[in-house]
Amino acid sequence: MSIDIKRVRNDFPELARLVHDKPLIYLDNAASTLKCLPVINALHLHYTQEAANIHRGVHFLSEQGTMKYEETRDTAREFINAKHRHEIIFTRGTTESINLVAHSYALEFLNEGDEILVSTMEHHSNIVPWQMAAQRKGATVREIPINDDGEILIEEYKKLLSEKTKIVATCHISNSLGTINPINEMISMAHDVGAIFVVDAAQSIAHEKIDVQALDCDFLAFSSHKMFGPTGFGVLYGKEELLNKMPPYQGGGDMIDVVTIEKTTYNDLPHKFEAGTPHIAGGIALKYAFDYINALGFENILSHEKMLLDYATTEILKIDGVKIIGEAKKKASVLSFTMEGAHPHDLGTLLDRQGIAIRTGHHCTQPLMKRMNVPATARASFSVYNTLEDVDIFIQGLKKTKEFL
CATH number, domain at 319?
3.90.1150.10
363/375 same-domain check: yes
Which of 355, 364, 393, 377 minimizes the C-alpha distance to 16?
A: 355
pTM for the complete prediction? 0.96
313/261 same-domain check: no
139, with CB counted inside 10 A (0-12, 13-18, 19+), is buried
Q: Does residue 54 fall inside a structural domain?
A: yes
Q: What is the DSSP letter of 146?
A: B
72/215 same-domain check: yes
In single-letter form, the type of residue at position 399 comes to K
Percent over 70 (pLDDT), the chain: 100
In single-letter form, the type of residue at position 52 comes to A
Q: Does residue 32 fall inside a structural domain?
A: no
For the stretch 252-303, pLDDT in tens is 888 877 888 988 888 889 999 999 999 999 999 999 999 999 999 999 999 9
Q: Which of 264, 294, 324 is the last residue of a domain?
A: 294
256/304 same-domain check: no
Higher pLDDT, 121 or 268: 121
212/345 same-domain check: no
Q: For position 267, what pLDDT does the model report?
A: 82
267/313 same-domain check: no
Q: Does residue 203 fall inside a structural domain?
A: yes
201/225 same-domain check: yes
Q: Which of 245, 263, 294 is the last residue of a domain?
A: 294
Q: Does residue 61 fall inside a structural domain?
A: yes
Q: Does residue 36 fall inside a structural domain?
A: no
221/75 same-domain check: yes
Instruction: Give the range of the structural domain holding residue 358, as residue numbers without chain letter.
Output: 5-27+297-404
67: Cβ–Cβ under 8 A, 6 or more apart, which residues? none
73: Cβ–Cβ under 8 A, 6 or more apart, which residues? 85, 88, 90, 270
74/164 same-domain check: yes
Q: Is 171 a catalytic residue?
A: no
For the stretch 376-396, pLDDT in tens is 999 999 999 999 999 999 999
1 band by pLDDT with thresholds 50, 70 and 90: low
The distance in angstroms from the start CA to the end CA of the chain is 43
253/340 same-domain check: no
Dist. CA 382–CA 115, nearest whole Å: 36
Q: For position 256, what pLDDT does the model report?
A: 79
276/316 same-domain check: no
Q: For position 259, what pLDDT does the model report?
A: 87
Q: For position 54, what pLDDT does the model report?
A: 95
Q: Which of 36, 171, 217, 364 is catalytic?
A: 364
For the stretch 178-213, pLDDT in tens is 999 999 999 999 999 999 999 999 999 999 999 999
Q: Does residue 100 fall inside a structural domain?
A: yes
Percent over 90 (pLDDT), the chain: 93
317/400 same-domain check: yes
Are 249 and 219 in contact, with CB atoms under 8 Å apart?
no
Q: Does residue 33 fall inside a structural domain?
A: no
Task: Please give the tally of structural domains in the chain.
Answer: 2
Which domain CATH number covers 136?
3.40.640.10
Q: Does residue 34 fall inside a structural domain?
A: no
Q: Which of 250, 276, 294 is the last residue of a domain?
A: 294
Q: What is the DSSP letter of 226?
A: G
- The rounded mean pLDDT for the chain is 96
